[in-house]
Amino acid sequence: MQIGVLRETAEAERRVAATPETVKKLIGLGATVAVEAGAGAGANISDAAFSEAGATVTDRKAVVSGSDLIFAVQGPDAKDLKGAKAGATLVAILAPFADRARIDAYAKAGLTTLAMEFMPRITRAQSMDVLSSQSNLAGYKSVIDAAESYGRAFPMMMTAAGTISAARVFVMGVGVAGLQAIATARRLGALVSATDVRAATKEQIESLGAKAIFVENVKGIEGEGTGGYATEMSDEYKAAQAALVSSHIAKQDIVITTALIPGRPAPRLVTDAQIASMKPGSVIVDLAVESGGNVEGAVAGQSVIVHGVTIIGHKNVPSRLAADASALYARNLFNFINAFWDKDAKAPAFAADDEIVKGVKLTEGGAVVHERLAN
């Protein structure tokens, strides 16, 4: 059983799907590991470090043709996997809703593909959850990016020359990224408030020392929502939330939006009129910009100024912390493989009826098999 690790080719993708730490662990299971030359460069991992961990460092053709399991961060183009073994398995973040044609091409090529972002939100799969590990870093980085663009200090400072008021930070969407954004802004000394459509998040917000801003007169989503995610809200709720946010957002210095709905465009949370109500010099960070954006006027891959407010729309935020993001992602992949490893066969045994396997498997045997991708 050979596990291959590809060098990422997507624009601005600096992460890598394995580290020397996980290479050693995979070899400890009984696998051999081949790493494409230069795969770790963006995360400051040298080819020599992979070699010292026991991997063979070689070119892409050799990695693809010799591997039974192929690890990547973002799903590569199917043509880049030409020459793969019959029935080889690709494990990566595959983004099928953004590029269905690529998934169909995997199926046509006879590849089995496992989409790590489809990992079920169940206790057994927590250590395999790539969205949580990467979102944690994105939430942290969003606050650091905002602080860099904001021309003032975050904490209240009392000096002989007078007092500097604390920055006011408003987090919209309290999933993993939002919770980390709250915690980071609090550590920097800001006055933090947050909102979400899921009732269960109110206690989480308050536990981090932030103020919960919730619609009280219209029912939202009870509990944690579907799989820990929000779903589309009623028009009545949207109107009530817009009114609440409009009155609150005008008083904020920094707004961070994180709201995503799996398989659908990101919901619009901040309008042009609300941006215009903010003070010049304020900052908005839209972490959902690649999925259509929570903020009107946000541009993927750019920082723009609208009504004197800077709107930051960085793409692939976890990759901007490539070393840590790679370490966490690589551990997610190892934990996934380890959970299904057959010690006698020295290979993973992915039972077709397993909840995790059914959740992540997109293609097998020349067909697209995932129920969410049914034509």
**Catalytic positions, written as ranges:** 121, 126, 129, 132, 229
Q: Give the C-alpha separation, 93 to 86, whole Å.
A: 21
Tokens of 115: 């989409």
Q: Which residues contact 11 (CB under 8 A, 6 or more apart)?
A: none
Tokens of 68: 């039974």
Q: How many CB atoms lie within 10 A of CB 224?
A: 16
Q: Which residues contact 288 (CB under 8 A, 6 or more apart)?
A: 173, 257, 258, 259, 260, 266, 294
Q: Give the C-alpha separation, 281 to 252, whole Å.
A: 11
Q: What is residue 74's three-state secondary structure? A: strand
Element (H, E) at 192: strand 191-195
Mutual angle of helices 176-187 and 130-149, in 10-degree steps: 40
One-letter amino acid identity for 200?
A: A
Task: Tell me which residue has tokens 């408030």.
Answer: 193
**In angstroms, how far is CA 30 from the centroid of its own chain?**
30
Q: Give the C-alpha separation, 13 to 76, whole Å.
A: 12
Spell out the alpha helix ranges (H) of 168-249.
Answer: 176-187, 201-207, 235-249
Tokens of 46: 């040298």
Q: Report whether 269 contacts 259 (CB < 8 A).
A: yes
Q: Give the C-alpha separation, 80 to 49, whole Å.
A: 25
